[in-house]
Amino acid sequence: MADPFFLMKGQGPMDLKGHRALITGAGQGIGEACAHVFASRGAGLILLDRNPETLDQVKKRLAGTGVKVQIRIVDLTDILLLKEVVQELLEMGTIDILVNNAGFDRPGTSSRIDEKKFMEVMGIHLVSPFTLIRMLLPGMRAAGWGRIINISSIYGLTGAKGELAYSTAKAGVIGLTKSMAKEAGQNGVTVNAVLPGLIHTPTIENVMSDQYKQPIIRDTPLGRIGEPEEVARVIAFLASDEASFVTGVALPVSGGWGI
């Protein structure tokens, strides 16, 4: 994480000082990049992940930023535990920015994925974000200001063969975003979705073979894989006052893939 932009301090409307952001899936990839970008702009951080080793490393890398960083090890699909953790965090103060980033995949066509795996994907991408929104929205409404950014995917727009559960869940994230934007807007709370394309995350690097990556790169007008930081900067924009009149948007950050 040596990109120079991490060292830049937010100023004016892009400054997030005085805000407290909860980011899920913060132990790697886009979630970790969000933590660095938000810290560079002064936001206090609450980082959730189920992997203690990677999350602890992220906290150590943030040590010199000067912002308060809290971490919690939690499996977001354990809804009872998630509620306990969030209630404890709310007792320490308002959380006015939520980034629903955590997720995982269970690849398969309709004949190869069973109901259990299908519902696991629905749980992490839809039930957990819904739970967090329900818990955090009252405080945002009371403050008259809040930002909710849900991470969907280009597959949520296009669908994908062999990605039935993931594509379905990510399409659901868009529906959740638009419905919540209509519900929360009158209270000064914006709700938006970001739709990444192919991004350099550990999962893509370690699991996805080149035979699947290369066709996507060929179909991407910018001709390359994106970086987590490029997605994180868009998320930070949506969390800032620069995006004060933006809500209900499903914004692709894909290098043009999917257009």
Catalytic amino acids?
A: 166
Q: Which residue has the tokens 């900067």?
A: 233
Distance of CA 6 to the CA centre of its chain: 18
Residue in this structure with the two tokens 């499996």, named with its chain if needed: 75
Q: Is 248 strand, coil or helix?
A: coil
Tell me if 253 sits within 8 A of 197, measured CB to CB: yes
Q: How far is CA 157 from the centre of its chain?
A: 17
Q: How far apart are CA 45 and CA 64, in angstroms?
A: 14
Q: Residue 231 in contact with residue 30, Cβ under 8 Å?
A: yes
First to last CA, the chain: 30
Q: H/E element holding 23? A: strand 20-24
Question: What's the CA gap between 235 and 122, in Å, rounded?
Answer: 22
**Cα Rg for the chain, rounded, in angstroms?**
17
